[in-house]
């Protein structure tokens, strides 16, 4: 597993812990690293992604609610919602990360931690958000050109 993939997994786990416990963010992060170890570089990236996603929960939830047509946020499984929040943050707040990478990594998290239909749901919602935030992918532009 690559460094960025591992960092995303750690970020997801911290965000999920916060989602289910609603403990203060600092306590969640501190408790997480008491039982988990990794390289300093991976930890720094994980904390940056998790903190960014945590700080932007309201904005991400609004984008998710708009993109997840016919789904209320309170009906989305906590695992899926956490993955969507992380992916939405990356699409909005990490412009140097290619959109395809954000979506692929989110789908992999959904396969690993979600239910059978989670990968397709996560893909559909994040792709709709991606189109609003970043526009068309180069391959889509070429097909329409």
> Contact at 8 Å (CB) between 134 and 127?
no
116 within a domain of the structure (yes/no): yes
Q: Which two tokens stand for residue 114?
A: 């979600």
Q: Which two tokens stand for residue 140?
A: 């889509």
* Number of domains the chain is built from: 1
Which range is least confidently modeled, 70-74, 124-128, 140-144?
A: 140-144
143 within a domain of the structure (yes/no): no
What's the whole-model pTM score? 0.91
Task: Tell me the pLDDT band of 135, cut-offs 50, 70 and 90.
Answer: confident
CATH code at position 48: 1.10.940.10
Tens digit of pLDDT for each residue in 55-68? 999 999 999 999 99
> Contact at 8 Å (CB) between 95 and 133?
no
145 within a domain of the structure (yes/no): no
Range of 102's domain? 3-134
> Contact at 8 Å (CB) between 90 and 97?
yes
């Amino acid at each position: 597993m690559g460094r960025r993939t591992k960092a995303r997994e750690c970020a997801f786990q911290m965000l999920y812990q916060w989602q289910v416990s609603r403990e203060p963010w600092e306590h969640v992060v501190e408790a997480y690293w008491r039982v988990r170890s990794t390289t300093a570089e991976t930890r720094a990236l994980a904390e940056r992604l998790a903190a960014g996603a945590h700080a932007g929960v309201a904005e991400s939830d609004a984008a998710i609610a708009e993109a997840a047509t016919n789904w209320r946020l309170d009906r989305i499984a906590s695992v899926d919602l956490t993955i969507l929040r992380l992916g939405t943050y990356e699409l909005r707040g990490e412009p140097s990360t290619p959109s395809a990478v954000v979506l692929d990594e989110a789908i992999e998290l959904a396969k690993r931690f979600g239910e059978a239909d989670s990968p397709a749901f996560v893909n559909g919602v994040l792709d709709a958000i991606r189109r609003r935030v970043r526009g068309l992918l180069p391959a889509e532009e070429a097909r329409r050109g």
